[in-house]
A and B are shown apart, each in its own frame.
Chain A
C-alpha cells in the first residue's frame, strides 16, 4: 500500500494527473471518516475533504518520500480539522440538552440502532480533541499507537491512554443517557 502511494506521488510530481486522481480515490473515504470523527459534523465533511486534497495538491512539492504518506496526509487533515474547529469556536452538538431515555426496554430495531449511533457520534464530538484524534486514527483507520504518536508528536503510551479514556468516556456517556449494555445488546 505504501509503495503504491509512493509511486502515485512520484508519477503525479512528474505531471501525471491520473496519479493524483488515483490518490484521491484511494484516500477520500479514510480522510472523510477522520474528519467526521474529528468534527462530528457530517454536513461539512464534503467541503473539508475537498480542502484537504487542495492542500495536498498545493504542498506536494514539500513532500519527502519516507514511506509515511498516510501520516503526512492525516497531518494535513488534522490541521484542516483544527482550523475549522477554531472557526466554529468549538460549537458542539447540543447533547447537553438531551433528556435521558426511558429505561423501558426498547425494541432492537434498525431505527433504534441508528438513533444510538447518532447519539454516540455526537458524544464522540464532545470528547477533547486529542481523544477524538486517537479514536479516529485507531478505531477508524487502524493505525498503530506508534504511528499515531509520530503523527501527533505524543508518546505511543499517551495515545494508548487517550484511546482507552475515549472509549470509557463514551461508554459512560451512553449509560448516563440511558443506554446501558442491556438496552443495546445485539
Chain B
C-alpha cells in the first residue's frame, strides 16, 4: 500500500471497518511511515473528541397539547375553505340563475320568466344586398348587455352584503349569549358563596349548642 491508498483507507481503519487482510497491510505501512502515523493519530483524536450532545428532556404532555392545537388549527383552516367554497358555489348558482331570469313589464302586464330565452326566428335573407352602413344596432345591443351585466353585478353585491350582515348579526347574537351566560354564572357564584356562609353560621351555632363547655372554639 502506498501513502494515498492508506490515507483513503484510514477512516475505515480507525472505525474497524476494514477486512483483516487490508488491516494488516495498512498496519505494516503505518509502522514504517511517520506522515501516515501522524494522520492516523489526528483522525483518532477527531473520533475521540467529537462531543456528545447535551442532555434533553421531551415533555410528552407538551407534545400532546401541541398536537391537539395543530389538529384544531388544521380543522379550522379546512372548515374556512369549505365555507368559502360553498359561498362561491352559491354565488355562481345565483349568478347563473339570474342570467336566465327575465322580468319584463309591458303595458298592463308583467312577464316573469325563468329558462332559456325564446328561440329567435331565423331571419330570411333579403334579396337586396346588405347595406354597408347600418348605424345604431351593434352599439345599442352592447349597451343593453352592459346594463344587464351591471344589474347582475349589483344583485350579486347585494347578496354578498346580505350574507356578511347575516354573519355579523350571528356573531353579535353569540356574544350576547356568552355575556348572558357569564352573568348567570356570576349570580350562581354569589348564591353559592351566600349559601356557604349561611351553612358555616349554622354549623358554628350547632357546635356551640352541642359543646357549650368548649366556649365555641372550633377545633
Spell out A's residues near B (CB within 8 Å).
17, 20-21, 24, 28-29, 32-33, 35-37, 42, 45-46, 49-50, 53-54, 57-58, 113, 116-118, 120-121, 124, 135, 138-140, 160, 163-164, 167-168, 170-171, 174-175, 179-181, 184-186
Contact = CB atoms under 8 A, between A and B. Distances in A.
Interface string B36-61: 00110111011111111111111110
B11 A163 contact: yes
A116 B49 contact: yes
B50 A139 contact: yes
B53 A164 contact: no
B49 A113 contact: yes
A29 B12 contact: no
Given A168-B43, A181-B38, A184-B45, A121 B51 contact: yes
Contact of B46 (A29, A113, A171): A171
Contacts of B54: 32, 36, 42, 45-46
B58 A164 contact: no
A115 to B, nearest CB: 10
A162 to B, nearest CB: 11
Contact of B63 (A29, A42, A53, A113): A53
Interface in B25-79: 38-39, 41-43, 45-60, 62-64, 66-67, 70-71
Interface of B: 7-8, 10-12, 15, 38-39, 41-43, 45-60, 62-64, 66-67, 70-71
A186 B58 contact: no
Contact of A117 (B43, B51, B64): B51
Contacts of B12: 160, 164
A57 to B, nearest CB: 5
A32 B11 contact: no
19 contacts: A24-B60, A32-B55, A32-B56, A36-B53, A37-B53, A49-B58, A53-B58, A57-B63, A57-B64, A120-B46, A120-B51, A121-B51, A139-B47, A163-B11, A164-B12, A167-B47, A175-B42, A181-B45, A186-B48
Nearest to B71: A58
A33 B52 contact: yes
A184 to B, nearest CB: 5
Nearest to A170: B46
B63 A54 contact: yes
B41 A181 contact: yes
Contact of B45 (A50, A53, A174): A174
Contacts of B67: 54, 57-58
Q: Which of B7, B56, B57 has the most CB of A within 10 A?
A: B56
